[in-house]
Amino acid sequence: MAKAVAQSDVFQAEIDFLKEVRKLSEDDNIPAETVKENYKKLCDKYERLIGEAKLLTSVSDRLHAKLNEANEKLKKQSEEINKINDDLKVNNQLLQDTIDQLVKAKVGRKASSIVLLIAIILFVISEGLLEPIVEQKFGNEQVGFIFKLGIAILLKPIDVIVERYMMRQALKGKSTVADKLFK
């Protein structure tokens, strides 16, 4: 409201002069010299008003051009940000795929190591404990060989089971790792 009062004060002198001239225009007994004097003042004020209108129009045009330029710059920056965001999404997906492959490879290595350890333990148990018992009961080495072949055949399903279990455990921990990375 203070601005409205300040703006009306700016034009108060012109408004007062306009009222005075209108009042004089209604008076039929006004001397010609006063009419001429007021007419000259009116022309001067009108000329000043046109100059101010030109100035205001020029300033307005420049501000409008700057605003358009700023809007265009913002639009370009917005497009650049959108492109960067799209690139980031693609890169994040590639990174996630790489992390998934690394986790799978790491789990596969650990699972293979565990299965190798199980195979060694089974071999030691087979050679040290079971083979003497089998040879004693059956007296045939082929039964021991078949037993060892069965153990060897079971190694692949054991590897798959261990790898799946470890992968589930890694995926449970994966969200925690991702949360830590992006905090």
Q: Is a pLDDT exceeding 80 seen at residue 52?
A: yes
Between 60 and 4, residue with greater pLDDT: 60
Helices (H), the chain: 2-10, 12-26, 32-125, 131-138, 141-181
Mean pLDDT of 154-175: 83
Q: Is a pLDDT exceeding 70 seen at residue 1?
A: no
Residue 163: count of CB within 10 angstroms of its CB? 19
Q: Is a pLDDT exceeding 50 seen at residue 147?
A: yes
Q: Is a pLDDT exceeding 60 seen at residue 172?
A: yes
Between 147 and 112, residue with greater pLDDT: 112
pTM equals: 0.50
Q: Is a pLDDT exceeding 60 seen at residue 90?
A: yes
Task: Give pLDDT tens digits for 79-89.
Answer: 999 999 999 99
**Residue 48 vs residues 38, 41, 44, 55: alpha-carbon distances, Å:** 15, 11, 6, 10
Copy the structure tokens of residue 46: 């009108």
What lies within 8 Å, CB to CB, of 131 at 6+ separation is: 144, 147
